[in-house]
């Protein structure tokens, strides 16, 4: 039997379909253990982003011990049949992965995939290669710890994995017309290749059903889905896949770092119960409006450029290239 170290506080109850304002660790520790079907966590990466109420410049050790604490709090909340995703940057991916390994040894979860989200449109660096990826760790709850060889299972897994909701056409089907191809397609690879150019070409349809990579872009400021008030909003298409594959209608989806409310907005659209924590009262209020809109209409909240104070102007005029004096002299002489 998997070792369970989960404890319930006597008075813990779970409210759903809301965003709680406050520190997520405190909030999670007051919630009942084994109560959440799907957790998606996109914490601040400690890279100096400007948030409303959070300082994203912490000492290394401080950030790491905080990370272990919130990961542990998530593991406590996760149902044995649940799923847990963590999105993290390069800086702390290795330590976070090692911590998840320890939780697996302790019988609290099982690690399933290290997914790489490959995007373009990142920041241009001056003296090193441009960053174009983030890490997504996918784990399932402790029920998987009891299985003899978890990787050999092909059906009746104790966790939710709705293959049919995310399967894509295989190359055997689309390119080679191979009659042996599974007519139900194949599962996407664990590298999700996200290009805004492709998204723009597809009219912001960020996921191509014929593509086995996850063709979902980072959100550019000009995308209708992008809110103007949060620094690092994720694309809904990414959450849509995660929520569809790892939960069912009526399940509870939890996001400890709600931010602009992306996870919860998609969960609401897909008829899941949603619950989040957010430190900033301002983000919380705006995220709640977004989620309620999605719950009511079943549609994403879209806004025009003018709502964001962006004017679509003419392309900026290219600056005249600087010319050396010698070149200028030659040009004058020639004319």
Ligand X SMILES: C[S@@+](CC[C@H](N)C(=O)[O-])C[C@H]1O[C@@H](n2cnc3c(N)ncnc32)[C@H](O)[C@@H]1O
Q: Is the CB of residue 110 less than 8 Å from the CB of residue 145?
A: yes
| 44 scored as a contact of ligand X (CB under 6 A) | yes
Q: Which of 141, 283, 286, 291 binds ligand X (CB under 6 A)?
A: 283
Q: Which of 31, 33, 38, 42 binds ligand X (CB under 6 A)?
A: 42
Q: Is the CB of residue 249 less than 8 Å from the CB of residue 269?
A: no
Q: Which of 80, 278, 288, 294 binds ligand X (CB under 6 A)?
A: 278
Please give the structure tokens belonging to residue 40.
Answer: 């998606």
- Choose one: 71-79, 202-210, 230-238, 308-316; the region binding ligand X (CB under 6 A): 230-238
Nearer to ligand X, 144 or 234 (CB): 234
Q: Which of 257, 272, 275, 293 binds ligand X (CB under 6 A)?
A: 257
Tokens 């790489």 appear where?
116
| 228 scored as a contact of ligand X (CB under 6 A) | no
| 63 scored as a contact of ligand X (CB under 6 A) | no
Q: Is the CB of residue 287 less than 8 Å from the CB of residue 258?
A: yes
| 79 scored as a contact of ligand X (CB under 6 A) | no
| 230 scored as a contact of ligand X (CB under 6 A) | yes
In the complex, the smallest distance separating the C-beta of residue 277 from ligand X, rounded to whole angstroms, is: 5
CB atoms within 10 A of CB 125: 9
| 293 scored as a contact of ligand X (CB under 6 A) | no
Nearer to ligand X, 173 or 260 (CB): 260
Q: Which of 61, 72, 63, 65 is nearest to 103 (CA)?
A: 72
| 68 scored as a contact of ligand X (CB under 6 A) | no
Q: Which of 2, 232, 295, 305 binds ligand X (CB under 6 A)?
A: 232
CA distance 291 to 278: 14
DSSP string, 239-287: HHHHHHHH--TT-EEEESS-TT-HHHHHHHHTT-EEEEEES-HHHHHHH
Q: Which of 35, 96, 170, 233 binds ligand X (CB under 6 A)?
A: 233
- Residue 312 vs residues 164, 222, 227, 319: alpha-carbon distances, Å: 40, 9, 16, 20
| 276 scored as a contact of ligand X (CB under 6 A) | no
Please give the structure tokens belonging to residue 221.
Answer: 């400021």
- What is the Cα gyration radius of the chain? 23
CA distance 290 to 47: 27
- Interface ranges with ligand X (CB under 6 A): 23-24, 42-44, 51, 53-54, 230, 232-234, 257, 259-260, 262, 277-280, 283
């Amino acid at each position: 039997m998997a070792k369970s170290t989960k404890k319930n506080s006597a008075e813990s109850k779970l409210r759903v379909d809301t965003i709680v304002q406050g520190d997520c660790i405190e909030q999670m520790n007051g919630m009942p253990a084994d109560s959440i079907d799907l957790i998606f966590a996109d914490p601040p990466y400690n890279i100096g982003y400007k948030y409303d109420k959070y300082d994203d410049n912490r000492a290394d050790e401080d950030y790491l011990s905080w990370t272990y604490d919130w990961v542990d709090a998530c593991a406590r909340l996760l149902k044995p049949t649940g799923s847990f995703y963590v999105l993290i940057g390069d800086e702390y991916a290795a330590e976070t992965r090692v911590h998840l390994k320890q939780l697996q040894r302790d019988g609290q979860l099982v690690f399933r995939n290290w997914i790489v989200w490959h995007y373009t449109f990142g920041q241009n660096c001056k003296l090193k290669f441009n960053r174009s990826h983030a890490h997504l760790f996918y784990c399932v709850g402790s029920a998987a710890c009891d299985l003899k060889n978890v990787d050999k299972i092909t059906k009746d897994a104790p966790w939710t994995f709705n293959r049919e909701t995310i399967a894509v056409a295989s190359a055997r089907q689309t390119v080679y017309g191979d009659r042996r191809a599974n007519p139900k397609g194949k599962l996407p690879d664990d590298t999700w290749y996200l290009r805004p150019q492709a998204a723009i070409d597809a009219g912001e349809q960020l996921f191509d059903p014929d593509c086995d990579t996850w063709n979902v872009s980072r959100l550019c400021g000009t995308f209708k889905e992008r809110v103007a008030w949060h620094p690092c909003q994720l694309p809904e298409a990414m959450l849509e896949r995660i929520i569809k594959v790892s939960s069912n209608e009526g399940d509870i989806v939890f996001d400890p770092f709600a931010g602009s409310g992306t996870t919860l907005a998609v969960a609401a659209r897909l008829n899941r119960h949603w619950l989040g924590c957010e430190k900033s009262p301002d983000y919380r209020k705006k995220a709640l409006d977004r989620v309620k809109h999605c719950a009511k209409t079943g549609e994403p909240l879209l806004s025009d450029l003018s709502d964001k104070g962006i004017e679509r102007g003419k392309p900026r005029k290219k600056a005249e290239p600087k010319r050396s004096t010698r070149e200028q002299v030659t040009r004058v002489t020639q004319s």
